[in-house]
A and B are shown apart, each in its own frame.
Chain A
Amino acid sequence: QQPVQSPQAVILREGEDAVINCSSSKALYSVHWYRQKHGEAPVFLMILLKGGEQKGHEKISASFNEKKQQSSLYLTASQLSYSGTYFCGTDNSHVFNKFYFGSGTKLNVKP
């Protein structure tokens, strides 16, 4: 039930781009993206709903392919503050239901 993320870890230099992928074996209603820094709570980045468009703000955006049950998070011109573990999360219903986190991708941005 847990979505699978790839890659497991990424090391970038400041200014480089990255793509994180999230894949589910079940039909999805929505995909969420969160970032968690060490010792802190996950922070919501964005949600993509079934039938919705690609979303994003500034240099972080995401897409959702309902047919393939996949989502991708795009980080462009990365900054040091982007470091952390990125989790996708998936809902298969519009009602308050089980919400499962993906396996996580650890991103390390170096100067």
Chain B
Amino acid sequence: DTEVTQTPKHLVMGMTNKKSLKCEQHMGHRAMYWYKQKAKKPPELMFVYSYEKLSINESVPSRFSPECPNSSLLNLHLHALQPEDSALYLCASGDGEGYTFGSGTRLTVV
């Protein structure tokens, strides 16, 4: 299995809602990443998990809360988001030889 699976593919949420994005990989990769991508811009790094521990937090607002329940799963919990948080959220995994990306979750905050 050489895929990174993200769910849901699309999500519309209100500013008072709580939702979660999910990511799963079965390639045995030791690092997992969350990126945010706005239209016509490169992906921006948000969080890095290395061996299931949060190793990098790029000063992301606390309304985004990552979680790594095990080596295959990565979640991103969302709460009280703003309209400017609307974007494509990409999960990636890697093992030092390039990263495999999921197809992303297209998030719209209304």
Kindly report which residue of chain B lies nearest to residue A101, judged by CB atoms.
B42
Number of B residues contacting the other chain (C-beta, 8 Å)? 24
B98 touches A42 (CB 8 A): no
Does A81 make an interface contact (CB < 8 A)?
no
Chain B residues with CB below 8 A from A94, complex form: 96
| Chain A 22-54 interface 0/1 with B at a Cβ cutoff of 8 Å (1 = within) | 000000000010000000111110110000000
Say which residue of B44, B45, B55, B90 sits within 8 Å of A41 (CB atoms).
B90
Query: Which residues, 74 to 111 on A, are CB-close (under 8 Å) to B?
Result: 87, 89, 94-104
Chain B residues with CB below 8 A from A6, complex form: none
Instruction: Write the nearest CB–CB distance from B28 to chain A, whole angstroms.
Output: 14
Main SS of chain A's interface residues?
Answer: loop
| Chain B 42-68 interface 0/1 with A at a Cβ cutoff of 8 Å (1 = within) | 111100101000011010000000000
Kindly report which residue of chain A lies nearest to residue B51, judged by CB atoms.
A96
A96 touches B42 (CB 8 A): no
Instruction: Write the nearest CB–CB distance from A9 to chain B, whole angstroms.
Output: 11
A42 touches B43 (CB 8 A): yes
Instruction: Write the nearest CB–CB distance from A110 to chain B, whole angstroms.
Output: 20
Does A61 make an interface contact (CB < 8 A)?
no
Bound-state CA distance A95–B56 (Å) is 12
Kindly report which residue of chain A lies nearest to residue B58, judged by CB atoms.
A98
Instruction: Write the nearest CB–CB distance from A70 to chain B, whole angstroms.
Output: 18
Chain A residues with CB below 8 A from B74, complex form: none
B58 touches A44 (CB 8 A): no
